[in-house]
Structure 1
Amino acid sequence: MKEHVRANFEASATAYDEYEARTGRFEDLADKLAAAMDKRHDRPLETVLDAGSGTGASVGPLEQRGARVVALDISRAMLTENPASGRVQADFDHLPFAPASFDAVAFTASLFLTPTPERAVAEAARVIRTGGTVGAVAPLGWSRPDGTDVFDGLERRSRSPSATDEVEAALGDAFDLRTGIWTFDTTPRNLRLFHAVPAMAARLYPRLDAQTRIENATALLADIEGLLSQRWRWMVGVRTEDADTNR
């Protein structure tokens, strides 16, 4: 599974950047998440692990708050485009860092990409200092103005390796967690562009090769029209002393 995820993102750097250049979605999510994490942290965030950093849309918002950011991603192709000065190619289920190495770990649109979020959360808790924070965002889907799901009536649904509820449960078991929802207006074109990223097209057609899954996703979504909204759940937790004693 992890090799499959890595291969998907190795093939996705260019399309990912094209989507981000048009929408700014991941930078916007990172900015909101960084603000929410900063609000819950009892001191300035000095060192932050950006777990699943990709091409680095989240690096700027984290650095703007004064943090030294270490960008970690499983994909070398993604990291090649990443602007962070500190870059590490690794799996966030198996972090190559000593305990209590960071003030915070940010999973900006990444934690739902592992089929074992509880393992990634345990690793995050291990490398976060007591009193430090973890932040994550995970998709809740796309809807029409009447509230119906965009994928209702279609032959496929856009699914992550881990459902958002599973991500939230894993974080809630290890951290003092607060959550909420952010909603963004979007368009059918942006929906199609999102699913033209090979790694995102895999949400619809995980068993097909990259080009075929993109073609199928584009055809599936071709008739979607009108204003849409996209919802993301945000989750910010604090690592308490109780977490230390329970590990």
Structure 2
Amino acid sequence: MKVSWATRAVPRRDWPNEDFVAAAEGAVVVLDGCSLPPGTDLGCRHGTAWYARSLGLEMLGRMLEPPTVPMDRGNALRACLAASIEAVALKHADTCDLSHRATPAATVLALRERPEGVEYLVLADSVLLLDSGGSVEVVSHEYARTYAAADPSAASRAITGARPPGALRRAALLTDGATRLTDRFKILGWQELLTLLAADGPEALIDQTRSAEDADPDCQRWPRTKRHDDATAALVVLEPRREG
């Protein structure tokens, strides 16, 4: 399993990238911290970027541990996510108000390769593309408000699944800032977006997204609440299964 990725903040010097991406052998995570207007009281002194990074690292670390349960349609990743949310909550429960309605939260995408196949998790409106060779499946929540925040039970609302060895050729993990060319601007279809990722790489996808955003600076052609958004794209290429 080979992973390439790119992540880019909105073009503002005074605002951190609230997306996060990390990968290690056999696992990758992508998170999109839930942005709120500057100056919003989060009840947290750390901020959304810290939360997304902390949750992502906790999640990746648990995904790299030897699994203790069968793959079972990817449900093991729910346990990883629940434990990760709880661990991050404990890191700042003494200093921050985790019951605050605006406490930092994030969408979560995760994919892990195991001897039994590939398992995945999707929480909220980031997008996972699964390419089986003959078709591209789009996995995302229909409703966006299923973020992780500080409640481990949020993991139970994640979409999970699994594919047997050799069933997937590629996968793409995309925050909503990296899916705009398709789901908001309608410039590319999902297959075309995946082809662009595979041919030219994640940086090229973000470049094209920024060019489209800059061509509509007043958000009139493509109505949206933000001219730009943090954008993260990770491409996973899976090795063909070797027989014998």
Taking structure 1 as the reference length, what is the TM-score of the superposition?
Answer: 0.31
| Higher RCO structure, 1 or 2 (CA under 8 Å, sep 6+) | 2
Taking structure 2 as the reference length, what is the TM-score of the superposition?
Answer: 0.31
